[in-house]
Amino acid sequence: MNQPRKIDSVVIEQLELDCVIGVNPWERLVNQRITIDITMDVDLLAAGKSDSIRDTVDYSEVVKAVTAEVNSSSYRLVEALASRVAEICMEPERVQSVEITLRKPGAVKSAAAVGVTIRRSR
């Protein structure tokens, strides 16, 4: 009996961007650093054989789109921003699911960062 093939992933780690994010009045006045980890589940079998960008997800295009959204955003909640980033990452048809971890370093004095991890799929 054939086992189903496990899906492959395109990964973008520790994307560092600045944006307005937060619910406190002072947070609405300054850009803050966030970090984003993105894992897009994609079947990479064809790309592995063809060695062609047409058979995969162009991670540079994903980074450009996410960067443009984040830099111009002013969300209050990391949950809302992470959800929007997930929507952007799901735009390429080849992406079957995505996991986004969005962190806000220094948001809590006693923690290196706080954040959320969300998962979306077709």
pLDDT tens profile 52-98: 999 999 999 999 999 999 999 999 999 999 999 999 999 999 999 99
What is this structure's pTM?
A: 0.92
Residues with a catalytic annotation lie at 104
Query: 86-103 pLDDT, tens per residue?
Result: 999 999 999 999 999 999
- How many residues in the chain? 122
What domains can be seen in the chain, in order of their start residue? Answer: 8-121 (3.30.1130.10)
- Alpha carbon distance 82, 115 (integer Å): 9
- Alpha carbon distance 103, 37 (integer Å): 9
